[in-house]
Each structure stands twice: as structure tokens, then as C-alpha cells.
Amino acid sequence: MSRRENTERQILQALEAQILETGMGGVGINAIAKRAGVSKELIYRYFDGMPGLMLAWMQEQDFWTRNPGLLAAGESSQRTPGELVLSMLRAQIDALAGNETLREVRRWELIERNEVSAPLAERRERAARGFIDRIDGLAPEADMPAMVSVMLAGVLYLMLRAKTESHFLGVPLRTPEGWERINGALEHLVAHGFPDTLNTESLAHLEARRGKPPAADPET
């Protein structure tokens, strides 16, 4: 790694440590510069301030910003839309479960919109829309954006809720067994709530039948 790359990594690590110690309320250029042992001017030069710094960190950490081309690979299109949705939901659970700092940032995004949180949310929305737009309309009788939104929001809420509550409606939120139950519920919702064609036919086949070429990767 170059000297600049090492310094950038040092700053990103300082950001993560600051979030873990103080939550987002204690995060700022001065605090991060002090922790990283660099000048705040250097952070502005390398990352163009807090919005750029947070975007750089989230690009490495968040599921959606790390997977902008989730459906780009040819092999993905050979799976059913139902399988792809379940894969996305499980990957989202894994990304949050294994990253306390990311969970803290996502909590903060839910309660505050500013020059830092807004670009994070907008970037995630673009990536997620790139995913959902591929399956939307394949089964006209189902409002897929709304259905997937409910499941994805439920996963996010339960994962973040685990910080303050050990159970939700009797389901453990801090044990593998509890999340196995939640995964089982997601499987049931997809199997019985999605139209049959979305669970029996591949995405590629459904798109070909609709006569629509695969969507281009969303801009990141």
C-alpha cells in the first residue's frame, strides 16, 4: 500500500473506533483527526469532509453499497426471483449481524437526515432499486417492491432492535436459534406469498418471456 492508502486506512479505522466508542453523536472531523493522528485538513483533502468519509467507509461495509451489481452475474439470472430475494435478505442479515459499527450507523440514519446521512441512504436506495427493478413486473399480480420492502424493513428493524430488546413477540433476537426462526419465516413468506412463477421459473426465463433485456448495473 502507498503512504496515502495507509493514511486513508488509518482514518477509516479511526472513524470506526469513534463510532463504536461514542455512537454517531460523537463523530466529527476533529475527533477522527485526533484519533487517527492526522490533521483535519488531510481528511478534507482525502475524503472531502464527513460525507465523503462516511461514504468511503460504507462502500466497504454496507451490503447494498458493496453489492451494486447483485444480479449482474449470469449465474444469478438462472435462479428464481424467489431464491434471489431470499439470498439478498440472508446476506443483509449476515452483513448487519457481523458488524456492530454498521448497525450503529443504520440506527442513526433512521432518526436523522443531514448532509452525511442523506447520501448514504440515497446510495443504498439506488443499489436496492437496481435489484428490485429486475423482478418488478415479472408477475403483474404482485406488488414486488412493496412485498420486498416489508420483509427487508422487518429484517432491519429486528436486527437493530436487538440492541435494546432480547426478544420480539417471544422470538429471541440475540441467538442463532432466533434468527433461524426468522429465516424460516422469510422462506415461508416467499414460498407462499410470491406468485408461483417467481418460485419455479428462473429470472432469465421470465425476463425472456417478457421480452425485456437484462437491466444495466445501477450507477454507484
What is the domain partition of the chain in residue ranges?
A: 3-49, 63-210
Q: Which residues contact 187 (CB under 8 A, 6 or more apart)?
A: 86
Of 1.10.10.60, 1.10.1660.10, 3.40.50.720, 1.10.600.10, the CATH number of 3-49 is 1.10.10.60
Averaged pLDDT for residues 18-24? 93
Averaged pLDDT for residues 194-213? 88
| 77 vs 69 pLDDT, higher one | 77
Confidence of residue 66 (pLDDT cuts 50, 70, 90): low
Helical axes 117-135 vs 100-111, angle rounded to 10°:
100
Confidence of residue 220 (pLDDT cuts 50, 70, 90): very low
Task: Give the whole-angstrom CA distance, residue 83 versus residue 20.
Answer: 34
Helix (H, G, I), strand (E, B) or coil at 171: strand
CA torsion, ordered 110, 115, 116, 122, to nearest 10 deg = 70
pLDDT attached to residue 142: 94
Give 50-61 pLDDT, tens digit per residue: 999 998 998 888
pLDDT attached to residue 119: 87
Give 109-151 pLDDT, tens digit per residue: 998 898 888 988 888 888 888 888 889 999 999 999 999 999 9
Average pLDDT over the chain reads: 89
Helix (H, G, I), strand (E, B) or coil at 115: coil
What residues does 168 pair with on adjacent strands?
171
Choose the weakest-confidence range: 17-31, 80-94, 112-126, 147-161: 112-126
pLDDT attached to residue 218: 47
Sign of the dihedral through C-alpha 117, 120, 126, 127: negative
